[in-house]
Amino acid sequence: MSGNASSSLSGTRVAKFYEMLFSPLEGSTAWACMQCGLCSSSCPLGDAMEYPPRRIIAEAWNGSLERVIRSPSVWMCVGCYTCSYRCPRQLDLTDTVWPAVRDYALQEGIQPPAELRTAFQNLYLYGNVFGYSPRKRLEWTKNLEVAVRDLSKIPERVEVLWLVGCYPSYHPRNQVVARAMARILTALGVRWGILGKEERALGDCDRLFGEEGLFEMLVENNRRLFERFEFEKIVLLDPHAFRALEKFYPRFGAVLPAEHYTTFLASRLDQIRPWLKNPIQARVTYHDNCCVGRRCRCFEPPRQLLQAIPGIELVEMRRNREHALCCGGGGGGMWLDAFITEHGGRRLSDVRIQHALETGADILAVSCPFELSRFEDAAKVAGAEDRIKVRDILELLAESMGLGEGGG
C-alpha cells in the first residue's frame, strides 16, 4: 500500500537510498559486496528472510527495490551485528543497509507492523516507547533510600550524567536494576545526576527501524537538553542507547563522552572489590549483549565484574563473546516477535535460553534492559524458571555489596 497513486520510485528518495548504500558514512560501499552470502548464512533469522542482506544488495545493484520493500523480511532484522561482524568486505550492514531499506520503505508509504507503529508514535509524542507520561519517569525512585540528584530541577556540576533509559524508568522488572545502580553509584562516592522528567529516549531503536526523521528529532532535542548541564561523562544502562550516543550523535554535532555501565564499573573494580562482601554461591553464565559486545568487541569488563563477586563460578555458553546468539530484541525485535514468528522466524531468546540451560548455570547474567524480560519469558516458556534465574549484573553486584532491594 503506497501513499502515492503511482508506484514508481520517487526520484529524491531513491537517490537518498542509493547514496546511503553506495557512499556510506561508515563501512564499505555496497558495490564492494562479493555476494558471498556469509551475512545471510550467519543471520539468526536468515533462513526466514525472503530478502536477507545479500539479496537486498543484489536487488539494489539492479535498482529493483519494489519487491524488497514490500516484503515482510524488511522488518525481521533484530540488529545483532553478526552480518556486519563477519562481512569480509566490511560493509556496515546493520547500521547502514538495514536502516536505509527500512527508511526507504517507510518513505514509500509501506506501513510497518502495527506494534512498531505504536512504538514510533509513542516515541514521537511522549519520548518513550511505552506511551507513558514523561512525568512518571521518576516513579522508580519512590522509596529509594539514596539521594537522587535531579539536574532538571537543580542543575549542578556532576561527574556522571546517568541516562536511566526508558525500560529502567518505567518497567517494574527493570526499575529494580535502576535502583541497584543508584545505590552502587552512591556507595562508590560517584557524584551522579539524572535528568528526571526531562529525560527522553535517545532514539537508537527507531533509528535502526528506519525512522530516521524521528531519530533526528530526538537527537536535536537531546542535544539541546544536554547542553544545559555540566558533566564529565554519560553512563548508560542500555547498550543500544550507548551505541546511538557513541556512533550517531556525533554525526549531528553532538559529541559526548559516553560509557556503558559495564566498562564504567569495571574501570573502578578496585574501589568496588572491598564492598563485595556477601558471597553469591552460584554458577553463573553471562550473555554478551550485541551492541557493546560483538559490535564494540568489548567482552571482558562484564566478566571482570562477575568474577569479582565471591562465590560466583563463571561458566561460558558454547556460543559466547563475538559468537553469542542475540536475544532478538534489537532493531525493533522487542515489538516484532509475533510478526517474526508469523513469517517463519522464531523468538531467538527461546533458543538462547537453551544454551544457558546447557551450562547448568543457576543464573543467567545480562547487561541490557531488553534481555531481562526476554529471557525471563523464555525461561517460563521452556518451563525452566525454577532451574535458572535471570539477573542483571547490577543486581548481582548490589546483592553482594549488601545493597539489594529491601536492604539485603
Partner 1 sequence: MMNIVAVVRLVPDLVEQLVVNPEEDNLDWDQTALTLNESDDHALEEALLVKEKHHGQLTVVAFDYGEIDQVLYMAAAKGADRIIKIAWPHPEPPNSLEMVGALGRLVPTLQADLVVMGCQSQTEFFGMAAAQLAARLGWPYVGVVRGVQNQAGGGWWKVFKEYPGAVLAEMEVQLPAVIGILTASQPPRYVPVSRIRAASQTARFETIDGMAKPEESAVNIRRVYLTPATSHAEMLKGTEEEVARRLVDLLVERGVLK
Partner 2 sequence: MIRRILVPVEIYRNQVTDLTREVLAAARVVGGEQCEVVACVFGEPPPEAVARLQVADRILILRDGQVGQPVAIAQAAVLSRRLAQLGVDVVFVGSSSWGLDLAPLLASFVDAPLIANCQNLECTTEGLRATCRICAGKLLVDVEIGQRLAVVLLLSGSYARYEVPPGKGVIEKCEVAPEEWDARVTFLRWVEPAREDIDITQESTLVAVGRGIERQENLTLAEELAEALGGVVCGSRPVIDQGWLPPTRQVGKSGMTVKPKLYFALGISGAPEHVEGMKDAELIVAINRDERAPIFNVAHYGIAADLFDVVPAIKEALVARRQEV
Q: Is 114 in the site for partner 2 (CB under 8 A)?
A: yes
HSE-CB at 380 with a 13 A cutoff on CA atoms is 5
Q: Is 285 in the site for partner 1 (CB under 8 A)?
A: no
337 binds, among partner 2, partner 1, none (CB under 5 to 8 A by kind): partner 2
Q: Are 23 and 29 in contact (CB under 8 A)?
A: yes
Q: Are 144 and 175 in contact (CB under 8 A)?
A: no
Quick one: which of 4, 5, 143, 172 contacts partner 2 (CB under 8 A)? 172
Q: How far apart are CA 242 and CA 145, in angstroms?
A: 27
Query: Between 393-400 and 172-187, two packed helices, what is the crossing angle to 10 degrees?
Result: 50
Q: Are 158 and 112 in contact (CB under 8 A)?
A: no
Q: Is 337 in the site for partner 2 (CB under 8 A)?
A: yes
Quick one: which of 23, 29, 90, 341 contacts partner 2 (CB under 8 A)? 341
Strand partners, 364: 285, 390
Phi-psi region of 242 (alpha: psi -120 to 50; beta: other; left: phi over 0): alpha
114 versus 255: smaller Cβ distance to partner 1 = 114
Quick one: which of 53, 72, 99, 112 contacts partner 1 (CB under 8 A)? 112
How many chain residues interact with partner 1 (CB under 8 A)?
27
Phi-psi region of 315 (alpha: psi -120 to 50; beta: other; left: phi over 0): beta
Phi-psi region of 212 (alpha: psi -120 to 50; beta: other; left: phi over 0): alpha
Q: Per this entry, what is the length of the chain?
A: 408
Supply the minimum distance, in Å, between the C-beta of residue 51 and partner 1: 20
Give residues 286-315 in contact with partner 1 (rule: CB under 8 A).
Answer: none
172 binds, among partner 2, partner 1, none (CB under 5 to 8 A by kind): partner 2
Stretch that binds partner 2, among 11-19, 189-197, 243-251, 372-380 (CB under 8 A): 372-380
Q: Are 252 and 234 in contact (CB under 8 A)?
A: no
Best CA proximity match to 324, nearest among 53, 78, 37, 80: 80
Q: Is 18 in the site for partner 1 (CB under 8 A)?
A: no
Q: Is 117 in the site for partner 1 (CB under 8 A)?
A: yes
Q: Is 153 in the site for partner 2 (CB under 8 A)?
A: no
Burial of 237 (0-12, 13-18, 19+ CB in 10 A): buried
295 versus 389: smaller Cβ distance to partner 2 = 389
Supply the minimum distance, in Å, between the C-beta of residue 244 and partner 1: 16
Supply the minimum distance, in Å, between the C-beta of residue 284 and partner 1: 25
Looking at the chain, the number of H-run helices and the number of E-run strands are 19, 8
Site string for partner 1, 206-245 (x = CB under 8 A): ----xxxxx-xx----------------------------
Q: Is 98 in the site for partner 1 (CB under 8 A)?
A: no
Give residues 171-210 in contact with partner 1 (rule: CB under 8 A).
Answer: 210
Q: Rounded to 5 degrees, what angle do the CA atoms 348, 353, 355 make?
A: 100
Q: Which residues of 34-60 are buried (b: 16+ CB within 10 A; e: fewer)?
A: eeeebbbebbbbbebbebbbbbbbebb
43 versus 106: smaller Cβ distance to partner 1 = 106
199 versus 212: smaller Cβ distance to partner 1 = 212
177 versus 296: smaller Cβ distance to partner 2 = 177
Q: Is 120 in the site for partner 1 (CB under 8 A)?
A: yes
Q: Is 154 in the site for partner 1 (CB under 8 A)?
A: no
Residues that bind partner 2 (CB under 8 A): 114-115, 172-173, 335, 337-338, 341, 373, 377, 380
